[in-house]
Amino acid sequence: MYDIHQTAVELAAASARDLPGIVAVQNHTAATSHARFATRPLRMEERREWFAQFSEHGPYRMLVARRGSEVLGYACSQIYRDQEAFRETVEVSIGLVAGSRGQGLGTSLYRALFGLLADERVHVALAAIALPNDASVALHRRFGFADIGTFREYAVKNGQYMSSLWMQRLQPTPLSQPDLTSPLS
């Protein structure tokens, strides 16, 4: 079991060297819980394209918590839908190794992530939480997320129908106004 208070934990932008640890967290979570809908282990090659969306600037960020070179968890804001209309919407996600849960690491990761997003053109953050998951629902509520609705039995994993609570957090972001001084073309 990990004690995140035992030694220093670094929060930093995720880099390519963190990808194996991130995939390990995702695979472990998918194999041992219903919090991820993956039904088979993910391979590194499959996650490289997904990982490429994140950068150190802009709305699509990924932070990791690590002790030395060991990834203890991650939080990210990713593309919600690949359409221009959703350019100010992100979907957030968080994952922690089992021994790091319940010790404030998720809170630290989200605090840092939302601090970064405060300077970006992000109007709404969405979260989909597989049910039941009281800890994740409570974490999102602490960060101002509100329940939007539940997709009931919309996925199947391990022979069971799965439901998700969708939550959102609005951030004040003024819409870009057209430049009325330039001639229309």
Which 8-state DSSP code applies to residue 174? P
CA 154 vs. chain centroid, Å, equals 20
Question: Angle at the Cα of 153 (from 38 to 94), degrees rounded to 5?
Answer: 40
pLDDT in tens, 153-176: 999 999 999 999 999 999 876 665
**Which pLDDT belongs to residue 138?**
97
Segments of the chain scoring below 70 in pLDDT: 1-6, 173-185
Work out whether the CA dihedral 82, 146, 60, 153 comes out positive or negative.
negative
pLDDT in tens, 107-120: 999 999 999 999 99
Nearest 10 degrees: CA dihedral of 140, 146, 151, 156? 0
Work out whether the CA dihedral 49, 51, 56, 58 comes out positive or negative.
positive
Average pLDDT over the chain, rounded to whole?
91
Cα–Cα distance, 142 to 151 (Å, whole number): 22
pTM for the predicted model, two decimal places: 0.88
**Which pLDDT belongs to residue 172?**
73
**Which pLDDT belongs to residue 5?**
53
Amino acid at 112: A
Q: Where is 162: in which H helix or E strand?
A: strand 160-170
CB 48: neighbour CB atoms within 10 A? 12
Contact 143, 48 (CB under 8 A): no
